[in-house]
A and B are shown apart, each in its own frame.
Chain A
Amino acid sequence: MGSPMKIRASLSGETADVKVLMRHDMETGQRKDASGAVIPAWYIQEVTVALNGKAVVTAEWGAAVSKDPYLALKVKGAKSGDAVSVTWVDNKGDTRTDETKIA
């Protein structure tokens, strides 16, 4: 399931500033633990940002995105009260969706 995301969406004119803070380990698969065993890769592969259920940005990520990823983007044609939802899917098939209303 993953931990909840923090999503903030603020309006300036007709453009919504969307800032997302996800919680994920984002293991690259390059690191080793104390005994020298490789820690398997575990990272978010796909992120979708939607406005009122309609996808605006779909992203594909590699393992190089930092732990607890931060993402900021802008959505046109938004108005107060619109729903912004963010969905991620990681390489283990785990997924999480969170939603917020534009203030």
Chain B
Amino acid sequence: MREALNLERRKALKAGAGFGLLSALLSVGLISPQQARAAVNKGAFDAKTLDETYKALGVSAPAVSDQVVINASDIAENGAVVPIGIKSNLPNTQMVALLVERNPNPLSASYNLTEAAVPEVTMRVKMGQTSNVIALVKADGKFYTATKEIKITLGGCGG
């Protein structure tokens, strides 16, 4: 009986070791998942206004550019699922982010792009109410934006 238990224990240890240090620390509770998030945008996702978000991202006075295109319909029937596409025609685009101005936390998603990626992403987000959505693009070290208003006929956060 005892030997069998030991064997089980050995297996468990073996399996545990494979997950590596990060998950080990996570499971012990030494670092919370929040802390495990990439440090780059830490805080930006918790920001409650557009200005706070820009500050947390290290963005100051981004330029409006017609090379940044938001691909979405003007009116979304269901705020829980709003399809939005962002495309950048700027050379050397490094990052694309989507902000919804009147959501509780404006920053919805940010994408770091390597050279192998085409600067064009499509996703679906929740919107609580009619709001401006902002595409924030970092290209060649500079920030550019494009804005589009999307009208919501049914809110996405009421459940």
| Chain A residues proximal to chain B, CB less than 8 Å | 15, 28, 30-32, 45-46, 51, 54-67, 69-77, 89-93
The answer to whether B109 touches A65 (Cβ under 8 A) is yes
Residue of chain A at shortest CB distance from B47: A62
Tell whether, in the assembled complex, residue A64 and residue B117 are in contact, meaning their CB atoms are under 8 Å apart. Answer: no
Is B7's CB within 8 Å of the partner chain A? Answer: no
The answer to whether A73 touches B122, judged by C-beta atoms less than 8 angstroms apart, is yes
Partner of A60, one of B37, B124, B158, B159: B37
Q: Which of B10-18, B58-66, B97-105, B139-147 contacts A (4 or more CB under 8 A)?
A: B97-105
Q: Tell whether A63 pairs with B105 under 8 Å between CB atoms, given A30-B157, A31-B159.
A: yes
Q: How many A-B pairs with Cβ below 8 Å?
A: 117
Given A57-B112, A67-B80, A93-B33: A62 and B117 interface contact (C-beta under 8 Å)? no
Q: How far is the CA of A63 from the CA of B106 in the complex (A)?
A: 10
Report the bound CA distance from A69 to B38 in whole Å: 20
Query: Which residue numbers of B lie inside 8 Å of A, CB to CB?
Result: 23, 26-27, 33-34, 36-38, 40-41, 45, 80-83, 85, 100, 103-105, 107-118, 120-127, 156-159
**In contact, B100 and A64 (Cβ under 8 angstroms):** yes
- Whether the pair B114, A66 counts as a contact (CB closer than 8 A) is no
The interface residues of chain B lying within 8 Å CB-to-CB of A28 are 104, 126, 157
A63 to B115 CA separation, bound complex (whole angstroms):
27
Complex Cα spacing A59 to B112, Å: 6
Residues of A with C-beta under 8 A to B85: 72
Instruction: List chain B residues, Cβ under 8 A from A67.
Output: 80-81
**Which of B23, B45, B115, B159 is the one whose CB lies under 8 Å from A62?**
B45
Q: How far is the CA of A61 from the CA of B41 in the complex (A)?
A: 10
Known contacts: A45-B33, A62-B105, A62-B109. The answer to whether A93 contacts B26 by CB under 8 A is yes
> Considering the chains assembled together, what is the distance between the CA atoms of A56 and B114 in angstroms?
5
Centre residue among A30, A31, A77, A89 by max chain B CB count within 10 A: A30
Residues in B neighbouring A90, C-beta threshold 8 A: 33
B81 contact set on A, CB distance < 8 A: 66-67
Indicate if the CB atoms of A60 and B157 lie closer than 8 Å. no
What residues on A are CB-neighbors of B107 within 8 Å?
A: 62
* Contact partners of A71 in chain B: CB under 8 A: 121-123
- Within 8 Å CB of A89, what residues of B? 33, 36
Distance in Å from the Cβ of B90 to the closest Cβ of chain A? 16
